[in-house]
Structure 1
Amino acid sequence: MPRQARVIVPGLPHHIVQRGHNRQAVFIEEQDYAYYLSNLREWKQALDLKVYSYCLMTNHVHLVVGANDELTAIPQLMKRLAARQTRYVNAMERRSGSLWEGRYKVSAIDTDEYLLSCCRYVELNPVKARMVVCAEDYPWSSYAARTGRQRASWLDEPPTYSALAGSPSERAAIYEKFVSDTTQSSADSLISSAVASNKLTGGSRFIDEVERRTGIRVEMRRPGRPRKEF
């Protein structure tokens, strides 16, 4: 069966997942995580991309990245992040070979319906994996910066997050309440299946619009109804 082609849509946010080769650990020491984030900050700025959310798990990464009009920008970001981390880990461990799976997964997101749900999904990964009790307890995700617990001036604010309320403290409080509900939702299921198969995170109207904009036929799937965000 041929692999599902990756679709990158200019101007839209994208959920990206990259896993370690054979699901091996990619991050072990604190400096491993810090090195990846420093490169993420550098290359997102160099390539003029936006980073709305991230979570570095032991053997994989989740990113929510806003695309610009250059179709090669996200592939370049992922290529450079993977290459630098591989060289770094191989040098530290005096080893050689691949650190990552050959292909990352990517899913363009319907901004209005699913962007904040995707950010929530990403930042709840450590909770769902039972690594921590609450999202704020995990140091290697964007949640602490999003809710004002940590400084990260390079992290971009999703447009639907900006629309939550007039002040940063009000936005943070609303978002905290949203993330605090860790029950599995229909949106979570759609987000997970979409990125796993390089499909779109959105319903049928969103799929139609992306097909019209890109000229690429996207395989239809049953549209899910997101839980109401706010």
Structure 2
Amino acid sequence: MARLPRLTLPGLPHYVLQRGNNLQPIFADAQDYACMKDLLREMGRRFAVELHAYILLPNQLHLLATPETADILPHFMQAVGRSYVRGFNNRHGRSGTLWEGRYRGTVLEPQAWLLPAMVVLESQAVTQGLAARAVDYAFSSARHNAGAQVDGMLRLHRAYWSLGDTPFAREAAYAQLLDRGASEEVQEVVLQAALKGWVLGGDSFVQGLQQQTERRLTRQKAGRPVRGDAPIG
């Protein structure tokens, strides 16, 4: 089946996934990770894209981001990708692209899916055996969102604020969610939605978005439907 065209909507969070070609490594050393973080910070400011969460894995990167305008997220990802590959190739004496193709992603209903998606994203280091706990992994936003350190390039989404009345309460509540992790079912739903371009949200959310585009927003009805409520654990 042909891949759906990517959907970008202003003011809504997007789960974005970019993988190495044939899942080859895209980071060779600590300087590469630092370079990618610098680019995300710089291009986020330049293109008015708010970053809520990220993880840099050896062969892929995942982002949770909200673009200010409808056309800005592709430009942001293109700028990050091209600049990173150019620097990576110069440093490591290689040529050609690193990426398997254009990035993939999906739009999230914030209240139902932002927190589950954050947990799925920041738990990828644990899922892939790179760390015992999400906050132990150095190349992600987990420590910031759990209150262990400050990362100035990140912006908390309003859905995160619903976790508590004070910063400490929110950070403690999120740290508990992160330690508990996401169920295999929720992980599968989030990652497959990002890979396939299916919108994650309840019926009313999806129907409202469907009025704005002719593009199909959910998978066809064969199989189990994606639910609007997203339990973690």
Question: Structure 2: which amino acid aligns with 1:226?
Answer: D
Residues 28-67 of structure 1: pairs in structure 2 closer than 5 A: 28-67=28-67
The DSSP-based 3-state class of the residue aligned with 2:94 is coil
Superposed CA RMSD in Å reads 1.5
Q: TM-score, normalised by structure 2?
A: 0.92
Structure 1 residue matching 2:100: 3-state secondary structure: coil
Q: After superposition, what is the alpha-carbon deviation per residue over 1:18-57, rounded to whole angstroms, capped at 9, x for unaligned?
A: 0011111001211101100101001111111110000000
CA contact (8 A) 1:14 1:109 kept: yes
Alignment of 1:4-153 (within 5 A): 4-68=4-68, 70-153=69-152
Task: Give the Å deviation of 1:185.
Answer: 4.7
Q: How far is 1:220 from its partner? A: 4.2
2:65 maps to amino acid? V
State the 1:133 CA deviation. 0.5
Q: Secondary structure at the match of 2:38?
A: helix
Unmatched segments (≥5 aa) in structure 1? none
Distance 1:219 1:168 in 2: 35
Q: How far 1:218 sits from its partner (Å)?
A: 2.4
Aligned length: 228
Q: How far apart, CA to CA, are the structure 2 residues paired with 1:77 and 1:59?
A: 20
- TM-score with structure 1 length normalisation? 0.94
Q: Contact 1:67 / 1:73 at 8 angstroms: preserved in 2?
A: yes
SS in 1 for 2:212: helix
Counterpart in 2 of 1:195? Answer: 194
CA contact (8 A) 1:204 1:220 kept: no
Q: After alignment, is 20-29 or 179-188 more displaced?
A: 179-188
* Secondary structure of 2:15's aligned partner: strand
Identity level (%): 28
Deviation (angstroms), 1:223: 2.2
CA contact (8 A) 1:7 1:108 kept: yes
- Point out the more displaced range, 158-167 or 211-220: 211-220
Q: CA deviation at 1:112?
A: 0.7
CA distance in 2, matches of 1:228, 1:102: 32
Unaligned ranges ≥5, structure 2: none
1:65 is paired with a residue of what secondary structure? Answer: strand
